[in-house]
Amino acid sequence: MIEKNHPRLSIRKQAAMLGVNRNRLDPQDRINDEDRAIMRDLDELHTRWPVYGQRKLAVELRKRGWEIGRKRVRRLMEIMGIAAVTPKPRTSIPDKSHRKYPYLLRDREVSAPDEVWCADITYIPMGRGFAYLVAIMDWKSRAVLSWRISNTADTRFCLEALAEAVEVAGQVPDIFNTDQGCQFTSRDWTGSLEDLGVRVSMDGKGRWMDNVFIERLWRSLKCEDIYLRDYRNLAQLEAGVRRWMAGYNRERIHEALGYATPWSIYRPQPALAEAA
């Protein structure tokens, strides 16, 4: 689909038109087994200290025995799709076809399920390669409505998760909040939301706290399951994530929810009628 020697369109422009990240078009040619092992440690460090930039991450990796410099750390972070969450200067011009939307949740009290949904993508290390995971969460209840795993971080698997979330909920939210990743600024994604009558909201650049609930979900998933089990392939990873998500939704209690589970808040069971 991407023509490397196209006479008029650069690879960057073709990737933008297709809504994919050009850094992930051919990852297998750019990384080796040592890179994958470093990326596993890099993901763990980024999950623990999301504000660390390339310099600090390089220092932490050297503490773990890796002989690595900042340039290599930057290259691997680009492949993984991660960056420090601190505010940063504008260093590139965004694709004009990708509209940025304002953040609509500032000072807003979300009072009911399905009022606001949010979504995010995270990098998942495996024993033999890596994958990407997208999840859609209800803001009020913290319930995960759907998720998808893919070996490429394109818009397609995000749209599949959206379709499933709408089917599970039986309706659409008033507002849908995401970060400014290329998948969520693409016309395919924003157009799908607008066609459903959903208001689009986006985090401020570098503002991970604007989508904090799903960021906490990633940290819990990785620290409690991914890093401990070291899945070897996509089939094992999907089975493990399915098991963990089911426990998260229906068994895990949250202090912020009054020690209830996310699904009991999202879909409360009607009280049983008293016996006559």
pTM of the model: 0.77
The domain limits of the chain are 11-80, 116-266
Reply yes or no on whether the pLDDT at 194 is more than 50.
yes
Q: Where are the alpha helices (DSSP H) in the chain?
A: 11-18, 33-48, 54-63, 70-80, 156-169, 182-185, 187-195, 212-221, 227-229, 234-250, 262-266
User: Over the stretch 127-136, which tens digit does the pLDDT of each residue have?
Assistant: 878 999 999 9
**What CATH number has the domain spanning 116-266?**
3.30.420.10
Instruction: Give the pLDDT band (50/70/90) at residue 181.
Output: confident
Average pLDDT for 203-222: 77
Mean of pLDDT values over 69-92 = 76
